[in-house]
Amino acid sequence: MTAPAKIVLSDVHKSFGKKVVLDGADLSVAKGESVVIIGGSGTGKSVLLKSILGILRPEKGSITVDGEEVIGMRSKARDRMMLKFGMLFQGSALFDSLKVWQNVAFGLIQGRGMDRDQAHAIAIEKLAQVGLAESAGELFPAELSGGMQKRVALARAIATSPEIIFFDEPTTGLDPIMADVINDLIVECTKELGATTLSITHDMASARKIADRIAMLYKGRLIWVGAAKDIDHSGNEYVDQFIHGRAEGPIKMELRA
Amino acid sequence: MDFVAAIGRIFLAFLSHVGRLSAFAGTALSHIVRPPFYPRLTLRAMVEIGYYSLPVVGLTAVFTGMVLALQSYSGFSRFAAESAVATVVVLSITRELAPVLAGLMVAGRIGASMAAEIGTMRVTEQIDALTTLSTNPFKYLVAPRLLAGLLMVPCLVLVADIIGVFGGYIVGVYKLGFNPSSYLARTWEFLEPIDVISGLTKAAVFGFIISLMGCYHGYYSRGGAQGVGAATTNSVVSAAIMILIFNYVITALYFGK
C-alpha cells in the first residue's frame, strides 16, 4: 500500500515579469518520503519551495498539503499550516540579533507559545543532536563558522518536531567533509522524526545520500522523477548531463539573463 | 510617442508604489491592534527611538533655540520689537521647529537603521525564516516599530520643546541681557495649549511616517548590499519629503483659517 500524498503540486506556474520560472510543475510527495529536487542554478528550485510555503504566490495551478489548498490561503490559516513545517535555508538565515539557543527555540517560543525555560532545554537538546555543545548556545550566529551555522539552522528546523521539513541547498558553501556530516545529520534527524522532506540541491552526493526519490527541474517543469537508485540509468539525457556535470549536452547555459 | 509612453510608465509605477505602500500601512496597522502582541520588541523599539535619539534631538533643539533667539533679536531690533524674542522662540519651537527638526533627525537616525536592519533580514532570508517559524513578519518586525515611532517621537518633541526654549532663554538672558523672570513671563504669556498640541500631533504623524518608510523600504529591498543601501537612502529621503508635506497639511488643518 502506498503512503498518502503529503504534498501535491499540480500544474504550478510562476513568473517574475516576463521571466517564466515555473511552467506547469507537477509533483507528489508521499508521507514520510524524502524527495530531492535537482536542477541548475536559476531553474526555480527555491521558487518551488517558497510557493509551497506561501512566501510566493503562483499565478496558476494547485498546491495542497494534507489535502488543503495552500495557494490563496488566508494569513491565520497559513500561520496554522506553518506549524507543520520546518525549513533549513541556503544561507542558514539565522537571526543575527538573537543568541544561538534563541534561534533554535524561536519556533517554540513565538510559534507555539512555549515558556522560555522549557524552550531553552529543548534548544540545548537539539543542539546536542547536531553535535554542538551547550556553550555554543550562548554565542551569536556571527561568531560561528559556516558549518556550525548550518548545524544551528538544522537544529532550528527540527526543534518543533515538524511533520514536513524543507532543505534549501543544505550543503552549499561547505567543504566535502562538513557537507557529508550535514547530510548524515539530515538523514538521522528526519528518520528519527519520521518527517516528510523536500530538498533542493545541485550537489549530487547530497542528493544520493538523503533522497528516496529524485526529481529534476528544468525550464520550470519536472522533467524526470524516479527512485534515487535509478538516477544513474534514468534514460533521460538531461539528467545524465546534469549528474555527470558535462558542459556538452541538451542543457545549454544561458549566458545572458 | 515614446515620450508619452515613458511618462505613462513613470505614472503607473508611481501609482503602483502608492498602492503597495497603502496596502503595507493598512496591513501593519491592522496587526498593531490584533494579537499576538510583542511588548518586549515594542519596548526595545521605544528605547531605541526615544532614549537613544535624545542626544541628537536635544542638541538640535538647544542650538535651534539659541540661534532663533539671536536671529529674532537682531531682526526685531530694527523695529524695536526685541521684547517679542521670547514669544517668537517658544511659538516657533513648539509649533514648527521642534517637530520638524526632530522628525528629520529621527528619520536620519532611526528610519535608516530600520531600513538597513529589515533590508538585511530580507536579503538574507531571515524574513522568510520568520514565516516558516509561524511568526508573522508584520506583527514581529513592523507593528512594534510603527507603534514605537507613533508614541516616542511626540515624547522626544516634548523634550525638544523644553530644551529649545531653554536654549533661547540662555542666549536671551546671558547674551542679550533680558531679565530672567520677564523672559520666562513673556515665554508663557502668549503660549496656548494648541501650540504644543499641534506640534505633538505633527510629531506623532512624523513618527509613524519615519517607521513606516523605514520598514516599507527595508521589507521590499532586493539584491544584496546594494539593495539594502538603496532601501536605506530611499527610506530617509521619502520620510523627509513626507514630513515636509504633512507638516504643511497639519499646519493648514490647525491654523489654516
Residue of B nearest to A81 (CA): B134
What's the pLDDT at A2? 62
B200-257 residue pLDDT tens? 999 999 999 999 999 999 999 988 889 999 999 999 999 999 999 999 999 999 988 7
Chain mean pLDDT for chain B: 93
**SS3 labels along A175-211:** CHHHHHHHHHHHHHHHHHHCCEEEEEECCHHHHHHHC
Whether the per-residue pLDDT at B1 is higher than 80: the answer is no
A155-197 residue pLDDT tens? 999 999 899 999 998 888 778 888 888 888 888 878 888 889 9
A68-69 and A5-16 beta bridge pairing = unpaired
Residue in A90, A96, A107 nearest the CB of B134: A107
- In this structure, what DSSP letter does residue B39 have? H
Q: How far is CA A152 from CA A126, A201, A205, A209, in A?
A: 9, 19, 22, 20
How many Å apart are CA B177 and CA A216, to the nearest integer? Answer: 84
What's the pLDDT at A174? 78
B123-134 residue pLDDT tens? 999 999 998 898
Which positions in chain A touch B140 (Cβ < 8 Å)?
110
Cis omega (within 30 of 0) for bond into B36: yes
Is residue A201 a contact partner of residue A207, using CB atoms and an 8 Å limit? Answer: yes
Q: Does A135 touch chain B (CB under 8 A)?
A: no
Provide residues of B within 8 Å CB-CB of chain A: 120-121, 124-126, 128-129, 131-136, 140
Tell me the ipTM for this assembly: 0.86
Q: Does A114 touch chain B (CB under 8 A)?
A: no
Residue entry with cell 497639511: B249
Distance spanning both ends of chain A, measured CA to CA: 46
What's the pLDDT at A27? 92
What's the pLDDT at B78? 87
Residue in B120, B128, B133 nearest the CB of A111: B133
Q: Phi first, then psi: what are they for B230, rounded to 5°?
A: -65, -40
What's the pLDDT at A115? 92
What's the pLDDT at B87? 94
Q: Does A91 touch chain B (CB under 8 A)?
A: yes
* Neighbouring residues of A163: CB distance < 8 A, sequence distance ≥ 6: A6, A84, A85, A195, A196
Residue of A nearest to B122 (CA): A93
* H or E segment to which residue A63 belongs: strand A60-65
User: Is there a contact between A82 and B134 if contact means CB atoms under 8 Å apart?
Assistant: yes
Residues of chain A scoring pLDDT < 50: 1, 257
In terms of Cα–Cα distance, which of A116, A103, A211 is closest to A157?
A103
Cell numbers describing residue B53: 535619539
Q: How far is CA A134 from CA A101, A130, A138, B31, B35, in A?
A: 9, 11, 8, 36, 33
- Collapsing DSSP to helix, strand or coil, B37 comes out as coil
What's the pLDDT at A1? 47
Mean pLDDT of all residues in B132-143: 91
> For the packed helices B85-92 and B54-76, what is the interaxial angle rounded to 10 degrees?
140
